[in-house]
Structure 1
Amino acid sequence: MSGEFSKLIEAAKQQEQPQRLLMLFAKAEGNKKKGKNAVNETGTVTPLMCVDKLPEELRSFDALIKEADGISEDWNFVLIAGLGGSDGVAPPTEAAEPYLNQMANDVMMGQDLTGYTILDRQQNPVLLQAR
């Protein structure tokens, strides 16, 4: 593993309590601003699918992409958050559902997404801002 994703996995493994990683795959649709000085795009981001995994279940970013593409290739970004466990035990997958729903709601409602790590298909960090 290399790049931003591997840094994220390593950081999750080093937390005081075991982590469960929450991932929301989203599709961006928009238009580039016209003009020679325009570097930003505007548009919408739509949640497509979610998954939660323990850091140990993630072999590589390429493997995650392959798994996601097996469901839908229509995504552009993955938003990632961590959910900490307690008493040395990672949260069960059932505990992830309300947080995954919150992530989807945050995207749909145009909420602040700075609490999430957002990566494109090439592991590049992405900054999404609400308008």
Structure 2
Amino acid sequence: MISSYNDLIQTSRSQQEAQRLLFVFCRAELPDDASPEEKEAFERGEGGALTPVICVDKTPDEAPDFEALVEESRTTGQAWDVVFIAAMSGRGGMAPSTDEAQQPMTMMVESIRLGHVSNYLPLDSQGHAVSLG
């Protein structure tokens, strides 16, 4: 069971094939047509829609600690609330390239936009796994 970013990195390094990690950073937003109840829930930290704002792919060695990844995300000027992470396995001891990650990344972003997030690991801004209900 992966409950933190550190767990993810350890698990990815223990895989038989080299890995490339896909990161989609999202901001929680309230739709313009939200009801008063939805607005109240959102103010309590519940509900809303997740909008992808940053996408990046890295090998585990390129992103060994969460703090460095968060710091890099800050340089974009985009605020975010949750990051979704997926892993791609390589072949023959080689991690997939950034070019090979492009299509899966695009599919991941679209999946998140549609609310289909169960295939991804969601982490909060501290690097801890979160449950999205």
Does TM-score exceed 0.5, indicating one fold? yes
Superposition TM-score, scaled by structure 2 size: 0.84
For residues 67 and 40 of structure 1, the distance between their equivalents in structure 2, rounded to whole angstroms, comes to 25
Provide Cα deviations, 1:12-49, integer angstroms capped at 9, x if missing partner. Answer: 01111100000001101244539xxxx87111000011
2:91 counterpart of 1:86: yes
Aligned to 1:42: 47
Query: C-alpha separation between the residues in 2 aligned to 1:115 and 1:43?
Result: 20
Residue 27 (structure 2) aligns with: 27
Distance in 2 of aligned mates of 1:32 and 1:13: 42
Aligned to 1:121: 125
Question: Which residue of the partner structure matches residue 9 of structure 1?
Answer: 9
Report how far residue 72 of structure 1 moved.
2.5
- Which consecutive unaligned segments of at least 5 residues does structure 2 have? 31-38
Contact 2:18 2:89 in 1 (8 A): yes
- How many percent identity over aligned positions? 34
| Aligned partners of 2:9 and 2:64 also within 8 Å | no
Unaligned runs of 5+ in 1: none
Structure 1 segments (4+ residues) deviating >3 Å:
none
CA contact (8 A) 1:32 1:42 kept: no
**What is the distance in 1 between the residues matched to 2:26 and 2:97?**
24
**Paired residue secondary structure (1:74):** coil
Letter in 1 for 2:84: L
Question: Which residue matches 2:69?
Answer: 64
Cα 1:11–1:47 change in 2 (3 A) is same
Q: Give RMSD over aligned pairs.
A: 1.9
**C-alpha distance in 1, partners of 2:73/2:45?**
27
**Amino acid in structure 1 at the alignment position of 2:58:** K
Q: Which structure shows the bigger proportion of residues in strand conformation?
A: 1
Query: Alpha-carbon deviation of 1:88?
Result: 1.3
Report the number of matched residues.
122
| Higher relative contact order structure (alpha carbons within 8 Å, sequence separation ≥ 6) | 2
